[in-house]
Amino acid sequence: MKTINDFDCKEKKALIRVDFNVPLDEQFKVTDTNRIEAAKPTIDKILADGGSVILMSHLGRPKGKEDKYSLRHIVETTSEILGRKVHFASDCRGEVAQKAASNLQPGEVLLLENLRFYAEEEAGDVAFAKELASLGDIYVNDAFGTAHRAHASTTIIAQFFPEHKCFGLLLAKEIESLNRVLNNSVKPVTAVLGGSKVSSKITVIENILDKIDHMIIGGGMTFTFIKALGGKIGNSICEDDKMELALEILHKAKEKHVHIHIPVDVIAADSFSNDANTQIVDVREIPDGWQGLDAGPKSLENFKEVIMNSKTILWNGPLGVFEMENFANGTITLGEQIAEATRLGAFSLVGGGDSVAAVKQFGLEDKMSYVSTGGGAMLEMLEGRVLPGIAAIID
């Protein structure tokens, strides 16, 4: 697996695919700089070698050239984070881009305009990829968040750099962290899968059953399992058409000696609202008109025992509706348990939009071994798929 550390970039122009798809407020100010900060080590390495950097990214889902999705809005923030002036090219192709790239001196950084202003990017157009490739001497993919897309700048472009392509330090770390969970894990291994739907996690569950010792199931998908097992779930969310599948998962897990842990009690509410009336009830005895919105205290005690005895922990999905303060305790407590296990030497990997949002919101990010930057990409790797953006570099 070649990374940027295997190359000397002196007097080279490094074309880096970054994931600067960052949130902007109404004044077009960046509200979360994590993705830009995550790319800094790769950029710094190239500049320290005496090379120059050309950054390519998308922002949002523009329909043609929409100014609100222009990457010029992030130039100031990127300059602040990198500690140097970032030049901006008002196009990512054609004369504007060619001129800006050819004028670039060692030690300088250029940011190209939004790649998705052109439909050819998402279409994986070869001619567009070739045009982008002509701007640099070496291609670096450091965008894990888009590694599962066969787009021009993430996958197709790599063919034009047969000897000069590699992973950036961020993408390399993502791959190593996932490999550490899936292939080189220290046992016991525990996967915590939360979220609302069993259907979105099926392939993940099937792929990781051979690699784990324990699986904690939480969030809304709990109730599909409970109902399948004959429990009463009141008005709780449930995928009735997936109950058969839930029983099949339990059966397969038993065959593979994987211990499945499902909540035994929940915080039930009489409406889907932070101001709802609540009560702690047995997960199999939720009254009509009530719905489970968070894991209960006994469940959290049970989970704690599993987490504290684990050496490798994968966390994907919250235990409750953590966006509402009154139903956030389960997710916070689980996060604190994983943080404590990590402090005592376990390896913890957190991934998937909601889990990442939760660890950030509750100040637990720095207490985990690794927090993934790519939700969809991480899920596809957990499903056992080879991501096109990664395959194009390993080739």
Would you please indicate which residues are annotated as catalytic (active-site) residues? 35, 197, 353, 376
Helices (H), the chain: 34-49, 75-82, 94-102, 119-123, 126-133, 169-182, 202-208, 222-228, 243-255, 297-308, 329-343, 353-361, 375-382, 388-394
Q: How far apart are CA 248 and CA 254, in angstroms?
A: 10
Identify the sign of the CA torsion 266, 272, 278, 279.
negative
Sheet holding 312-316, edge to edge: 259-261, 214-217, 189-193, 312-316, 347-350, 370-371
User: Do residues 351 and 371 lie in contact, with contact meaning Cβ atoms separated by under 8 Å?
Assistant: yes
Question: Across the strands, what pairs with 233?
Answer: 286
Q: Which two tokens mark 193?
A: 């899968």
Q: Is 181 helix (H, G, I), strand (E, B) or coil?
A: helix
3-state secondary structure of 31: coil
Q: Where are the alpha helices (DSSP H) in 135-285?
A: 169-182, 202-208, 222-228, 243-255
CA–CA gap between residue 32 and residue 61 (Å, rounded): 18
DSSP character at residue 57: -
Residue 244: C-alpha distances to residues 198, 206, 228, 241, 260 (Å): 11, 15, 7, 7, 16
By three-state DSSP, how is residue 23 classified? coil
